[in-house]
Structure 1
Amino acid sequence: MITPRFSCTQTEAEVIVKMYCPSVRASDVEINIEETLFSVHVNPYFLRLNFPRSLKGDEDASASYDAGSGYLTVILSKETPGQEFKDLDLLAKLLAPRPSAEPPQQPVIEVLSSEDAAAGDEQDAGEELAQRTQQLTLEQQEILRAAENDWQLPQEIPEPLPQLKTTPGYRYGFLDMYSGYFRHVAHTENEINELGADAETCPSSERRKLRLNHEDEKWDEEHYMADYVEDEYIQELLYWLNPHTVSGEDFHYSEEENMTMLRLPRKEYLATPQQTHSLYLTLATLLFSYAYDCRTTQHDPTPESAWTLSVLTPAFTALDPAPYTPSSSNSSGFSAEEILVTLAASYRRALAFPLYRSWALAEACRADVAALLGKGKRVVARCLLEMKHILDHHEVYYLYSKIWVDDFCTWTLAHASDETLGGLAVAVKSLKMEKKIIGWHLEELEASAQEAIEREPDSDDESEDEIERMLPAPM
C-alpha cells in the first residue's frame, strides 16, 4: 500500500483531510472511523491517522474526489464541536501508531469483615507458626533461632547478576534498537568510526573509553592556540544569527519537509522515564553538532557537512549517547551537573576535530542549542530533518540517519514535550561552562598565547625605528 501525500485542517465542527490520490475510482473509497482512529483505503493508497480527540462515526463523514487535480477530500465531524485538534501539521505524529493501552490494574483486596476472624487469629497463630517452622531447612531454622536470641548476623547485599547475553554483539542506536550496521565496516571508508571492526561487539563502557582516548589523541594545542590568536573569521561566525532562532511565530513546514515526514518510520516507542530523560540529553548533543555546522557554513551545507555533523556527535562516532553521568531521579528535570557533562562531550569534539577550534565558537553553539530548544518541537524537528537530508545524501554516513536521526525525528514530532524542551532550554542557557572540565588546560594555553601577543613588538614602531636609522644624521 502507498501512503498518499496529505494535509489536515479544521473548523469549529469538522476536520478536513485532503489526500493526493491520482487515477483512482471514487466509488472504491472505504472510510473507517473508530473514536480517534481514522483510516481510508482506495487502491493502491491507504492512510491511517490517529487524532488527539474523538470523531463521529462513518455515517457522519463525507468524501469528494476531484479527478482533474487527483485530490480526495474527506470531511470528518468532531465528536464535540468547538474542540481544538492540536498538532494537525505534525504529520509524523498523526501517522504514529495508537499508544498501547495501559496495563491492567492490580486486583484490589476488599476487607468484607474483620470481626469474625479476629477471635480465632491469636489461637491459630501459634499452630501456623509451628507448621511453617517444621517445613524450614536446617539452615533456615538456625537463622530463626539466632533471630530469637538477637544474634548479630552478618548482612550483605548480593551483587546484581550480569545481564544475560545470547549473542556476542551489543545493540546501539536509538533506544538500543539496532545491530548489524557495522558488520562490514572494515570494507567501508568510515572516517568517523572510532570503534573500528569491534563496533558490533564493543560494550558501552568500552565505547566511552575509546572515545575519550581518541579525543585526547586528536587534541592539538598548536591548532587551538593558532585559532585563539588569529580569530578574524571566527569572530565573523560569532555574529551570525541562525534563522531558526529568530524566525517569527508563523510556522509552516514546506512541501519537501512534509514528504520527508511521510517517509519516516512509524513505530511505537515504549521508552521508560529514564530512557526518555536520556533521549532529551542526546538530542542536545545532536543540536550542538547541527548548530556548529550551521554557523561554520552559515546555513549553506557543504560536502563536508555530513562529516562535521557526524564527527561532533558522540552517539555517532563511538555509539556513545548521553547520559555521561548518573541522571537525576526526577525524569522531568535536568540537573546542572548532567547538562554540564553532556555538553562537555560536544565541546571536546568541537575543540579537537573540525577546522575551527574555538571556545567562543562552542559557547555560541550552546546558545543556539538553547534557542532552538526554546522554540519547541516543531523547530527542533525541522533541524533534525535538515540533518537527515544532509546525512541521507552521503554514501557512508547515511547509516547514522538510519539508526539515530530517523527515529529522533519521529519521536520528537510524536512524543516530545514542548514543556520539557523548554525546561532543557533554560538549563542549557543558564549553564556556566568551565574550561577546566574539558581537561586540556585551556586557560593556561590561552594565557600563554596572550603573553606571546603582548611580547610581540609593534610592527609599525619597528618600521619607524628602521627608517630613522637609515636617515643621515643632522648637521
Structure 2
Amino acid sequence: MITPRFSCSQTAESVVISIYCPSIRASDVEIHVDETLLTVHINPYFLRLNFSNRLLEDDESSAQYDPGSGYLIVTLTKETKGEEFKDLDLLAKLLAPRSTQIQHQPIIEVVGTENVSNDEDDLVERTRALALDRQEILEAAENDWQLPQDVPKPLADFDLSVEKRYGFLDMHSGYFRHVSHMENEVNELGADAEFCSPDERRKRRIMHEDEKFDGEHYMADYMDDESIREVLTWKHPHITNADECQYTEEEKLAMLRLPRREYLATSTQTHDLYLTLLTLLFSYAYDARFTQHDPSTESAWTISALTPAFSALDPPPYFASIHSALTPANDPIFSPSEIASALVPSYRRSLAFPLYRSFALAETCRTDVAELLCKGRRTVVRCLIELKRILDLHEVYYIYSKIWVEDFCVWTQAYATDDNLKKLATCVKFLKMEKSLLGWDLEKLETVTQEQSRDDDSDDETDD
C-alpha cells in the first residue's frame, strides 16, 4: 500500500483532510472513523491518522473527489464543537499508531499493536508486591519481625551476540561492517565499530579528542578572532522569526517519507533522548552559524565530527544519572550537572576539530540550542529535517541519518512535548559552563595569549 500525500486543517465544527490520490474511482473509497482514528483506503492508497480528539462520521460529514486535481477532500465533524485539534501539521504524529507502553525495549520496528496494560511502573509495583509476600512468609517462619527484606536486583540480560547495538534506543546494528572500505573520516572506532562496548567507545572518544586538541590553534583563534566575531553576531532565522512555524511543501514531503515507527521507551530512555537531542542541535547550530544557514559541502563532516553519538556512537548520559526509573516518561527532570555533562563532549569537539575553535563560539551555540528548544517542537523538527537533508546528501555520512536523525524526526513529532522542550531550554539557557570541565586548561592558554599580545604591543611601541 502507498501512503498518499495529505494535509489537515480545521474549522470550529470540523476537520478537513486533503488527500492526493490521482487516477482513482470515487466508488472505491472506503472511509472508517473510530473515535480518534481515521482510516481511508483507496486501492492502492492507504492512510491511517490518529487525531488528538474524537471525530464523528455523521450527516454533516462528507467526502468529495476532484478528478481534475486528484484530491479527495474528507470533512469530518468534531464530537465537541469548537474544540481545538492540536498538531495537525505534525504529520508523523498523525501517522503514528495509538501509543502503548510495555516493559521491555523493542529491537524491531513495530508494525502493529495490541492493548498492553502493563507499563514500567506496574512492573515495579508488582515486583514489590511479590517481594512483600515472600518477606511475610520468611518473617512468620523465623518469628523475627525486625528482619529487613529488599527486592533482589534483576539479572542482567544475557547477550550471545558478538555485535553491539547502537543508534536510537540501541535499535541498529550492521551499518559499520564494511567501514574499512568506506572513506568515513569521522569514525573514531575504525573496523571495531560493530564490536566495541559502550565503555570502550567512550574511552576511544576521549582519547581521540585529547589527541586532536591543539593548544596553539586555540590560542591563535583566541588572539585573532575577527572572523569568529562575525560568526558570533549572526542570528539564526528560525530564532528571529516571530511568526508561527509553517512547514514548506518540501518539509511536508520529507516528513511523509519518514518511517512509520512506534517507540516503546522507558522513562529513563526518554530522559536520555532529550539529552542526546541537545548534542544534535549543538552540532546543527555550529554549522548553521559557520555557513550562515547555507550548508556547504563540508557541513555533513562538521555535523558528524561534532556529534559524539555519530563519530564514536557515544550518546549521553556521560555519568550515572540521578534520574529515577519511577519518574513518568512524560515529565523528565533535568539537573544542571547532567546538562553540563551532556554538552561537555560537544564543547570539546568544537575546540578540537573544526576550523574555528573558540569557547565563545561554543557558548553562543549553546544559547542557540536554548532558543531553538524554546520555540517548541515544530521548530526543533524543522532543524532536524534540515540536518537530515544535509546528511542524506553525503555518500558516507548518510548512515548517521539512518541510525539517529531519522528516528529523532519521528520521535520528536510524536513523543516529545513542548513543555519538556521548554524545561530543557531553561536549563540550557541558564547553564554555567566552566572551562575547567573541558580538561584542557583553557584559562592558562588564554592568559599566555594575553601576555604575548601585550609583549608584542610593547615591542611595537619601542620600535616606533
User: Which category describes the TM-score, using the shorter chain as reference length?
Assistant: 0.7 to 0.9
Q: Aligned letter for 1:365?
A: C
Q: What are the ranges of 5 or more consecutive residues in structure 2 without an aligned counterpart? A: 101-114, 123-136
> Which residue is 2:314 aligned to?
320
Tell me the TM-score normalised to structure 2 length: 0.87
Q: Identify which of 191, 195, 202 aligns with 1:201.
A: 195
- The answer to whether the 8 Å contact 1:51/1:85 transfers is yes
**Alpha-carbon offset, residue 57 of structure 1:** 3.3
Q: 36-45 or 374-383: which moved more?
A: 36-45
**Alpha-carbon offset, residue 4 of structure 1:** 1.2
1:222 has 2:236 as partner:
no
In 2, Cα distance between the equivalents of 1:78 and 1:261?
A: 26
Distance change >3 Å, CA 157–CA 12, structure 1 → 2 = closer
In 1, Cα distance between the equivalents of 2:96 and 2:291?
A: 34
> Which residue is 1:397 aligned to?
397
Q: Identify which of 311, 317, 324 aligns with 2:305.
A: 311
Distance change >3 Å, CA 69–CA 206, structure 1 → 2 = same
- Kindly provide the CA deviation profile for residues 246-296 of structure 1, in whole angstroms up to 9, marking residues without a partner as x: 111332100000000001111111111110000000000000000000011
- The answer to whether the 8 Å contact 1:377/1:412 transfers is yes
**Alpha-carbon offset, residue 328 of structure 1:** 2.6
Q: Percent identity?
A: 61
> Which residue is 2:8 aligned to?
8
In 1, Cα distance between the equivalents of 2:459 and 2:61?
A: 82
> Which residue is 1:454 aligned to?
454
SS in 2 for 1:46: strand
**Alpha-carbon offset, residue 157 of structure 1:** 11
In 1, Cα distance between the equivalents of 2:429 and 2:364?
A: 11
Bigger-Rg structure (1/2): 1
Distance change >3 Å, CA 104–CA 351, structure 1 → 2 = closer
- The answer to whether the 8 Å contact 2:58/2:77 transfers is no
SS in 2 for 1:77: strand
Q: Identify which of 186, 190, 201 aligns with 1:192.
A: 186
In 2, Cα distance between the equivalents of 1:368 and 1:18?
A: 36
Q: Identify which of 272, 276, 290 aligns with 2:270.
A: 276
Q: 158-167 or 65-74: which moved more?
A: 158-167
- Kindly provide the CA deviation profile for residues 150-176 of structure 1, in whole angstroms up to 9, marking residues without a partner as x: 9x99x9998874430121111110011
SS in 2 for 1:456: helix
> Which residue is 2:237 aligned to?
243
- The answer to whether the 8 Å contact 1:238/1:361 transfers is yes
Tell me the TM-score normalised to structure 1 length: 0.86
- The answer to whether the 8 Å contact 1:194/1:214 transfers is yes
Number of equivalenced pairs: 427
Distance change >3 Å, CA 156–CA 206, structure 1 → 2 = farther
Q: Aligned letter for 2:411?
A: W
- Kindly provide the CA deviation profile for residues 301-328 of structure 1, in whole angstroms up to 9, marking residues without a partner as x: 0000000010100100111111111223
- Kindly provide the CA deviation profile for residues 72-126 of structure 1, in whole angstroms up to 9, marking residues without a partner as x: 10111111211111110111110111112451698xxxxxxxxxxxxxxxxxxxx
Distance change >3 Å, CA 67–CA 157, structure 1 → 2 = closer
> Which residue is 2:175 aligned to?
181
1:388-427 aligned at under 5 Å gives the runs 388-427=388-427
**Alpha-carbon offset, residue 460 of structure 1:** 6.2
> Which residue is 1:172 aligned to?
166
**Alpha-carbon offset, residue 352 of structure 1:** 0.4
> Which residue is 1:113 aligned to?
none
Distance change >3 Å, CA 32–CA 156, structure 1 → 2 = closer
- The answer to whether the 8 Å contact 2:36/2:52 transfers is yes
> Which residue is 2:117 aligned to?
103
SS in 1 for 2:7: strand
1:109-120 aligned at under 5 Å gives the runs none
> Which residue is 1:136 aligned to?
none
Distance change >3 Å, CA 45–CA 434, structure 1 → 2 = same
In 2, Cα distance between the equivalents of 1:274 and 1:458?
A: 57
- Kindly provide the CA deviation profile for residues 15-66 of structure 1, in whole angstroms up to 9, marking residues without a partner as x: 1000111111111111111111101111221111000111113765311111
- Kindly provide the CA deviation profile for residues 162-208 of structure 1, in whole angstroms up to 9, marking residues without a partner as x: 43012111111001111111111111111111111111111111111
In 2, Cα distance between the equivalents of 1:70 and 1:396?
A: 38
In 2, Cα distance between the equivalents of 1:253 and 1:246?
A: 16
1:257-272 aligned at under 5 Å gives the runs 257-272=251-266
> Which residue is 1:342 aligned to?
342
In 2, Cα distance between the equivalents of 1:321 and 1:61?
A: 48
In 2, Cα distance between the equivalents of 1:271 and 1:386?
A: 25
**Alpha-carbon offset, residue 218 of structure 1:** 0.6
SS in 2 for 1:235: helix
> Which residue is 2:378 aligned to?
378
Q: 258-267 or 453-462: which moved more?
A: 453-462
Q: Aligned letter for 1:306?
A: A
> Which residue is 2:131 aligned to?
none
> Which residue is 1:333 aligned to?
333
